[in-house]
């Protein structure tokens, strides 16, 4: 039997996704005939304004919030920065302490480091071997000067899902006992299209989303900001987005983001069933590999489409290059810096030996992937590991 071999196999959907045709079709008129500036008064500008307002309403329905609580941004990184730095600065006099985790995306970690450099105190919560925070540790870290807690919904490297409703209950209970307000932010960039984004059920006050993770455009996203929460803008100028985020609105991007989020939310059950099947097949086939490895992504409390695997005795980058040469695209949690290969901070935080963590590969699936592609991946992986093993022995 001839092995199915497509020209390319894309297994890095947690990094970015291809744009859906329906999304592009929705965007196109706002690049051409409906190109007006939403802040202007004439008719084509009002068409653009209506498109932005309609998109805001669509996003608000999915998040179960008010349209006025949606701020459109340039993506997940800006949304995270805005939530963390903006709220922290606005509440500095009320408390300079913020709580986050050791496994956050760098958009959060670097924002925290920026705040530390100007005098804020940051607590970084540990995670267990399953990638989950300790709820007792969270509760013990909350103090009189805590103003913000930022904990991601689902991890971008391992897919591990944090229990936001329980986290919210703990934070709100402690805040009540301390007779103060403590706000909860979550980076939900990876969760969109896979999990329920109902902000009321989650019990959170701020949430970051991005368009290009859900087959929408790059360079656009949003921040949910619960009404009444003070925030200092990090981009100033024309006063758009109710004075919270200046700059002429990216109308085509906003329209595309809204459409992509709507479609992803409608299809999330289908997506989860399909991707879990592929991940399960991959897990099963990995058992037949002769090279030692561990599967990092846990069977429970994780996204349906992400599988992180560490290959003992190998580094992630050469594996990725080998797969790339065979037309297969995945990613590594490790970052190449100078002449050294640094292990993923997420995996190290989970207690994985750094020497093993440098050999991590993340496979992330979409509805476009097939079981035949998993077969090709396994055969290609066997060949790549075999070739690398021979090289290391010479």
Active site residues: 336
CB-based contact 11:377 (threshold 8 Å): yes
Residue 72 is given by DSSP the state E
Distance of alpha carbon 153 from alpha carbon 274, whole angstroms = 21
The residue whose two tokens read 């002429």 is 248
**Nearest 5°: phi and psi at 14?**
-80, -15
CA nearest to 361, candidates 286, 284, 307: 307
| Host H or E run for residue 249 | none
Given the DSSP bridges, would you call strands 183-187 and 206-210 parallel, antiparallel or unpaired?
parallel
- How many other C-beta atoms are found inside a 10 Å radius of the C-beta of residue 212? 23
For 218-255, b/e burial (b = at least 16 CB within 10 A) is bbbbbbbbeeebebebbbeeeebbeebbeeebbbbbbb
Tokens of 311: 């290959």
CA nearest to 379, candidates 309, 286, 279, 317: 286
Tokens of 61: 């329905």
Distance of alpha carbon 355 from alpha carbon 292, whole angstroms = 13
Tokens of 324: 């790339």
CB-based contact 51:254 (threshold 8 Å): yes
State the angle between helix axes of 43-63 and 251-266 in degrees (0 to 180), rounded to the nearest 10: 30
Alpha helix segments (H runs only) across 267-370: 268-286, 316-325, 345-349, 354-357
Distance of alpha carbon 147 from alpha carbon 107, whole angstroms = 19
Distance of alpha carbon 239 from alpha carbon 83, whole angstroms = 17
Residue 119: is it exposed, middle or buried by C-beta count within 10 angstroms (0-12/13-18/19+)?
A: exposed
What Cα–Cα distance (Å) separates residue 30 from each residue in 130, 252, 259?
45, 5, 14
């Amino acid at each position: 039997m001839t092995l199915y071999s497509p020209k390319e196999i894309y297994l890095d959907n947690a990094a970015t996704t291809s744009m859906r045709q329906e999304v592009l079709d929705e965007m196109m008129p706002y690049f051409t005939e409906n190109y007006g500036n939403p802040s202007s008064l004439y008719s084509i500008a009002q068409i653009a304004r209506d498109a932005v307002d309609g998109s805001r309403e669509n996003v608000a329905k999915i998040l179960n919030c008010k349209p006025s609580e949606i701020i459109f941004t340039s993506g997940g990184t800006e949304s995270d920065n805005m939530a963390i730095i903006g709220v922290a600065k606005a509440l500095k006099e009320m408390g300079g302490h913020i709580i986050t985790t050791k496994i956050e995306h760098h958009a959060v970690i670097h924002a925290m480091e920026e705040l530390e450099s100007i005098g804020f105190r940051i607590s970084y919560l540990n995670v267990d071997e399953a990638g989950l925070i300790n709820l007792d540790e969270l509760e013990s870290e909350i103090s009189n000067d805590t103003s913000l807690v930022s904990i991601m919904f689902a991890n971008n490297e391992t897919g591990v899902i944090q229990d936001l409703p329980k986290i919210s209950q703990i934070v709100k209970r402690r805040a009540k006992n301390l007779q103060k307000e403590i706000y909860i932010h979550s980076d939900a960039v990876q969760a969109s299209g896979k999990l329920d984004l109902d902000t009321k059920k989650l019990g959170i006050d701020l949430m970051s989303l991005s368009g290009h993770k859900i087959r929408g455009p790059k360079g656009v996203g949003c921040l949910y900001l619960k009404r009444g929460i003070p925030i200092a803008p990090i981009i100033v100028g024309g006063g758009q987005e109710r004075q919270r985020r200046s700059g002429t609105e990216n109308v085509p991007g906003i329209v595309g983001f809204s459409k992509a989020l709507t479609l992803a939310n409608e299809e999330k059950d289908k997506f989860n069933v399909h991707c879990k099947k592929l991940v399960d097949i991959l897990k099963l086939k990995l058992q037949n590999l002769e090279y030692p490895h561990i599967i990092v992504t846990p069977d429970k409390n994780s996204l349906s489409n992400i599988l992180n695997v560490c290959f003992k005795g190998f580094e992630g980058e050469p594996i990725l290059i080998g797969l790339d040469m065979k037309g297969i695209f995945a990613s590594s949690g490790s970052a190449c810096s100078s002449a050294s290969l640094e292990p993923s901070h997420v995996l190290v935080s989970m207690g994985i030996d750094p020497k093993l963590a440098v050999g991590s590969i993340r496979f992330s699936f979409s509805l476009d992937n097939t079981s035949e592609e998993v077969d090709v991946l396994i055969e290609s992986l066997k060949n790549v590991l075999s070739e690398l093993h021979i090289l290391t022995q010479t």
